[in-house]
Amino acid sequence: MNIAFENAKKNLPIKGFLDMPVDPSLDLFVEIKKLKEEKNAIILAHYYQEADIQDVADYLGDSLGLAQQAEKTNADMIVFAGVHFMAETAKILNPTKKVVLPDLKAGCSLADSAPADAFKKFKEAYPDHIVITYINCTAEIKSLSDIICTSGNVEKIIESLPADQKIIFAPDRNLGAYINKKTGRNMLLWDGSCIVHEIFSLEKILSLKQANPDAKIIAHPECEEVLLNHADYIGSTTQLLNYTKTDAAQAYIVATETGILHQMEKNSPHKKFIPAPPDNACACNDCPYMKLNTLEKLYLCMKYELPEIAMDEQLRLAAKKPIDRMLEISRHAGLIK
């Protein structure tokens, strides 16, 4: 009997992950590769994961790409290196597959900013509105939505609706305000936000720009409007990455989670990438939830197939409908194949 595992399993509901020692002599890159083959597992990782996790992933992407990969995979086990709502989305799309997440406590401040009870009441007050919800939300909120969107497809989804269609947009007020401005719509916004994208210091970014006048400021639309007004380019994580690959500039101040810099540097090694600083003592801006996942936790969750995402079937079916609509509109718009 593996006592360390039995204890870690017992403590899982409190800890959120298998808290047990990993043999330090193991090469985790090799072990994870072996486990992938043995278990016919696929590792889907978000761009905000630490560099080592990005390097062992089979697929690396933002929310839209990850949802699409989760939908089409033939693997028996999906190892989701990201946050809880992303692993939940994979489970919603793949009820028969095992979905594991290295740390169940890898949550999301944006998802937390929309509690299901309060959101249900809000929605009921506007019965003539349809609900478009950013994918960063819980399965309960998805089940109350008409269409899910990501920062990569939100404009196409809004454009697919008649101009006079009344819309509730949730949970991110910054992304909603940015889309209102860009499309001329007047969507009703839920008052939620992401702690990582709201904490950037405009003052520090502007002094960085002064010190690096040739650097372009590129930003995620979850950032506040006051920062977006200074950005040379605004886009989803994948759009920001693609922009730095093709754009002629040689330096960028990147206003989103710092994990994406690993891919930017890999793809354009001759360019300079400066993380936009937050309004605290740190020089770069990490998502504390994304960074709860480590290579050790990833290895353990693959080896022991825990913690696993479980979901009530009725909730899953209700949450799947708006995701299916998103994937359908994205396919129609040529955003995914």
The contact set with ligand SF4 (CB under 6 A) reads 83, 108-110, 136, 194-196, 257, 287, 289-290
Question: Annotation-wise, does 137 bind a ligand?
Answer: no
Q: Between 252 and 289, whose beta carbon lies closer to ligand SF4?
A: 289
Question: Annotation-wise, does 288 bind a ligand?
Answer: no
Question: Annotation-wise, does 155 bind a ligand?
Answer: no
To ligand SF4, the closest distance from the beta carbon of 169 in angstroms equals: 15
Contact, 98 vs 77, CB < 8 A?
yes
Alpha-carbon distances, residue 179 vs 9, 167, 318, 324 (angstroms): 44, 12, 26, 22
* Lookup result for tokens 């040689």: 250
Q: Between 20 and 194, whose beta carbon lies closer to ligand SF4?
A: 194
Q: Between 95 and 288, whose beta carbon lies closer to ligand SF4?
A: 288
Residue 1 neighbours by CB distance under 10 Å: 4
Distance spanning both ends of the chain, measured CA to CA: 47
* Lookup result for tokens 């330090």: 24
Instruction: Name every residue whose Cβ is closer than 8 Å to that of residue 81 and which is 6 or more positions away in sequence.
Output: 43, 44, 45, 46, 49, 53, 57, 102, 293, 298
To ligand SF4, the closest distance from the beta carbon of 33 in angstroms equals: 27
* C-beta contacts of 90-93 below 8 A and 24+ residues apart: 90/44, 90/66, 90/309, 91/309, 91/310, 91/311, 91/316, 92/139, 92/142, 92/311, 92/316, 92/319, 92/320, 92/323, 93/67, 93/320, 93/323
Coil vs helix vs strand at 320: helix
41 bridge partner residues: 77
Residue 165 one-letter amino acid: Q
To ligand SF4, the closest distance from the beta carbon of 109 in angstroms equals: 4
Question: Annotation-wise, does 134 bind a ligand?
Answer: yes
Q: Between 38 and 279, whose beta carbon lies closer to ligand SF4?
A: 279
Q: Between 136 and 293, whose beta carbon lies closer to ligand SF4?
A: 136
Question: Annotation-wise, does 220 bind a ligand?
Answer: yes
To ligand SF4, the closest distance from the beta carbon of 286 in angstroms equals: 9
Contact, 129 vs 167, CB < 8 A?
yes
To ligand SF4, the closest distance from the beta carbon of 178 in angstroms equals: 15
Q: Between 28 and 257, whose beta carbon lies closer to ligand SF4?
A: 257
CA 11 to chain centre: 27
To ligand SF4, the closest distance from the beta carbon of 184 in angstroms equals: 26
- The answer, yes or no, to whether the previous bond of 171 is cis (omega within 30 of 0) is yes
H or E element in which residue 212 lies: none
Question: Annotation-wise, does 203 bind a ligand?
Answer: no
Question: Annotation-wise, does 109 bind a ligand?
Answer: no
Question: Annotation-wise, does 280 bind a ligand?
Answer: no
Q: Between 195 and 333, whose beta carbon lies closer to ligand SF4?
A: 195
To ligand SF4, the closest distance from the beta carbon of 110 in angstroms equals: 4
Question: Annotation-wise, does 46 bind a ligand?
Answer: yes
HSE value, Cβ hemisphere, 13 Å, CA-based, for 60: 19
* Binding residue positions for iminosuccinate: 46, 63, 134-136, 151, 220-222, 237
**Numbered residues of the known binding site for [4Fe-4S] cluster:** 108, 194, 287
